[in-house]
Amino acid sequence: MGMFEVIFEHALQSIELDKDITIETMTTLNLLFPQSLKESLQIIESGLVSRISTANGCYYHTVASTANSSHVILPNSCSCRAHAQQVVETKTEFMCKHLLAVEIASRLPGAEQSTVVPTDQWSKGLLALLWPQ
Ligand SMILES: [Zn+2]
């Protein structure tokens, strides 16, 4: 793990521990993500982060982008164009604003809408989001 990842992990642990984003953590995150932090926080504040899970612990996140489309966020990956281009292809970004929003929201009480669904509905929903008809 590089220094960047170590510092990021520490910031995430602080959010989990403090149940809040302190000024110190905010400063650290802003240094790590000068381009995307503000947008990620706006995504959280707008209530756009959802966690869809099953009773046995499978889960994925979505971030609503427009009225009828959502990005799907799985651990370390997002279905958006920025993730494919800047994170995977050119490696100019560590993660997209959606993934950052999910990493923060999942540690912040009340920051994500959580829905538990039956397993078959869960997998159908995920497939429909990843491969829209
Ligand atoms: Zn994304």
**Can you give the C-alpha Rg of the chain in angstroms?**
15
Residue 113 CA, ligand 1 centroid: distance in Å? 18
Residue 50 has a pLDDT of 97
pLDDT > 80? residue 82: yes
Report yes or no on 15 lying in a domain: no
User: Residue with structure tokens 């984003």?
Assistant: 21
Report yes or no on 16 lying in a domain: no
Residue 17 CA, ligand 1 centroid: distance in Å? 26
Report yes or no on 116 lying in a domain: yes
Structural domain count, the chain: 1
Report yes or no on 79 lying in a domain: yes
Whole-structure pTM value:
0.94
Residue 80 CA, ligand 1 centroid: distance in Å? 4
Q: Tell me: the pLDDT tens digits for 30-45?
A: 999 999 999 999 999 9
**Stretch 64-77: mean pLDDT:** 89
CA dist 92 and 45 (Å) reads 26
Residue 82 CA, ligand 1 centroid: distance in Å? 6
Mean pLDDT of the chain: 95
Residue 95 CA, ligand 1 centroid: distance in Å? 8
Range of the domain at 53: 36-130
